[in-house]
Structure 1
């Protein structure tokens, strides 16, 4: 019977697809695309997950993406019930080489709802190619888009050694830094000092705050500033005729290649800001923010290279490049009304490739997503630039002022 369930659903589940396109001179490919998601089920469990509603197909959508050693990792936020695994590796289905499915990462046990030692809801993570460590932010809450969110566990940061398959460290956030009943930990970047990833900066899109984790002291604190909040008049997002009204504060975050600045913006905001890392490293520092400029569109995630910032253009179904230098302007490098609808997250691998997830999130949030059509895409774009973590352990030293210089 379980096999019959699988055969019935396989017609609307995941597919692997590669498409070559041109993007302002860049090689760009759709690596994966899905109508809906499927997982690498343990033997005999598929029917149970379906009948118990622990797997509700239409509540599963990919969001975050990172790449390490050629492997692609994605998050499936537990915004609604029926998400069996919130952190996953994309693999080829052993039973069908034409399909890609999600393998719970690091394993099924770490996806257990209600077990505070496991992962409850992962929106994003960062992977460090220098160490092989994945820095995973766990919101601790689930069903956050329903009328009855479950505040099951404290929020935490898990550092996991991917190459050696073991937990390195877990930091549980105190309630006064990351509220257990109302946080939305969204995005994360790392800060290198003297060749070591010493700080993590995490956005809380619910509290409009920037969380700092100090690894040496195993402590955390936060900064708040009006620049992290929603801009008046920017609450409405129109995508292909579909209007979505949201109030999402500080969301996307990017670390500069020289580790001197953190860039950020709210999802419902046009202005981009940056904060010096020497400020963030000092809990008692005065928050000194600088205005970078006004973007031409709203955006969610972002990523920095040694040349520019990259981020999605939500109402224009595009990817923008912004060389953050005097008098520079945004450059759209790729656009498509279907396969780039709502660019949600971006990442750089250590081979000078930009990766992104486009997931039609506006349709998901307005209950208009058709799971018989292709909705979710993973893109790989050759940009020929270095991600901020590439060889960071070799090129960073600490100067007398506490900032980073290139060695």
Structure 2
């Protein structure tokens, strides 16, 4: 196992600072919302880097989260292992309306972000949901947001997903961006882990369509999990999609997997980008089964490194990171755990690769947060990073 991953920063549940001028409230029902900052509620989920900004998301799964989309200023990080989160692009954009009236100028809850390095844009899904225990509320319709990273996070577009496509945003935990030569010829692929659908959004057409297939569902044999000393059962379907290099036909392989699964699947973006294909009840061999990664190799997020052709997996039962070089046959014999830490990398919730070949991983001890309790005197959340070159050195993926 590799020890090339290290901490650029660690966030403790009791050590985030309350943002300035943060308003208070008095209740948590549909009419008003309690906006008092509650440190324990703030569990980071996603991580991605663009230049000097390291974006960190905190989906609103409990009351007391002042800002769902944030960043860490890497230029000012220094030796600080408890970096301050800065709302992006500002606090008002993240602030909940005290009456919970839908507001197209604000976001409710974000799980993960993906920078579009070619065009300097940040893409994410606002689920529109407050996932408070015993009080789940769909405040506004889920929407796709695209922000201008070169212009202070200025919103370039908000696309509200029609209700006939999505009725709840609870399963919209990730987004994958596909950009060709022209920035207007962009597509986004959005897995729905709850309804087992895959949505495709065309930037040029400003339109969205939905695919349904059995491979998007969970594997009942892989739903029993034991993570961080907590045993539970999940049925999360398609969770992550990552894109391979462009092929001779101008399209890419889209590799995807359900979270409650040991398997990996693939479909061509040529299939996904043709809206008429979404209306078919039979897809023939368009969606293909690649194989099984191995036992206890359920994965949340994965990402493709274009230069080496290697896919890196965030493996939740192994408390670590696995890899597969796509130039080799897909089989368990060609998959390897390149880093694992049963104490510190509990539940790697996100994994991204930036445009400088750095891997970024968030681990957040989520199962303990949901089913048990976090110890606020310990570091429960960590951001890990290393280079691709160091990560694969001496492994099957080199």
TM interval, short-chain normalised = 0.7 to 0.9
Offset at residue 242 of structure 1 (A): 1.5
Show the counterpart of 2:209.
221
What is the TM-score when the length of structure 2 is the normalising length?
Answer: 0.84
Show the counterpart of 1:298.
298
Distance in structure 2 (CA, Å) of the matches to 1:236 and 1:132: 40
1:261-293 deviations in Å (ceiling 9; x for gaps): 111111111111011000000111154201111
1:339-393 deviations in Å (ceiling 9; x for gaps): 21111101111111111101111111213221211111101111139xxxxxxxx
Alignment equivalent of 2:22, drawn from 39, 45, 58: 45
Alignment equivalent of 2:143, drawn from 156, 162, 166: 156
Show the counterpart of 1:185.
172
Matched, 1:74 2:59: no
Distance in structure 2 (CA, Å) of the matches to 1:341 and 1:294: 23
Distance in structure 2 (CA, Å) of the matches to 1:98 and 1:268: 33
Q: Is the 8 A contact 1:183 1:207 kept in 2?
A: no
Offset at residue 233 of structure 1 (A): 2.2
Q: Is the 8 A contact 1:38 1:101 kept in 2?
A: no
Distance in structure 1 (CA, Å) of the matches to 2:222 and 2:298: 8
Q: Is the 8 A contact 2:10 2:81 kept in 1?
A: no
Show the counterpart of 1:141.
129
Distance in structure 2 (CA, Å) of the matches to 1:75 and 1:125: 8
Matched, 1:58 2:40: yes
Q: Is the 8 A contact 2:128 2:169 kept in 1?
A: no
Show the counterpart of 1:233.
221
Distance in structure 2 (CA, Å) of the matches to 1:237 and 1:176: 33
Show the counterpart of 1:283.
275
Q: How large is the RMSD of aligned CA atoms in angstroms?
A: 2.4
SS at match of 1:364: helix
Matched, 1:367 2:372: yes
The range that moved more, 299-308 or 84-93, is 84-93
Show the counterpart of 1:274.
266
Distance change in 2, residues 1:49/1:357 (3 Å) = farther
Matched, 1:377 2:375: no
Distance in structure 1 (CA, Å) of the matches to 2:354 and 2:372: 33
SS at match of 1:216: coil
SS at match of 1:187: coil
Distance change in 2, residues 1:58/1:216 (3 Å) = same
Matched, 1:89 2:71: yes
Distance change in 2, residues 1:133/1:274 (3 Å) = same
1:199-237 deviations in Å (ceiling 9; x for gaps): 000111111111110111100111011111111122211
Unaligned regions of 5+ residues in structure 2, if any?
28-33, 391-398
Show the counterpart of 1:200.
188
Matched, 1:243 2:222: no
Show the counterpart of 1:106.
89
Distance in structure 2 (CA, Å) of the matches to 1:121 and 1:370: 25
Show the counterpart of 1:11.
none
Distance change in 2, residues 1:229/1:327 (3 Å) = closer
Unaligned regions of 5+ residues in structure 1, if any?
1-22, 386-407
SS at match of 2:220: coil
Alignment equivalent of 1:351, drawn from 329, 348, 356: 356
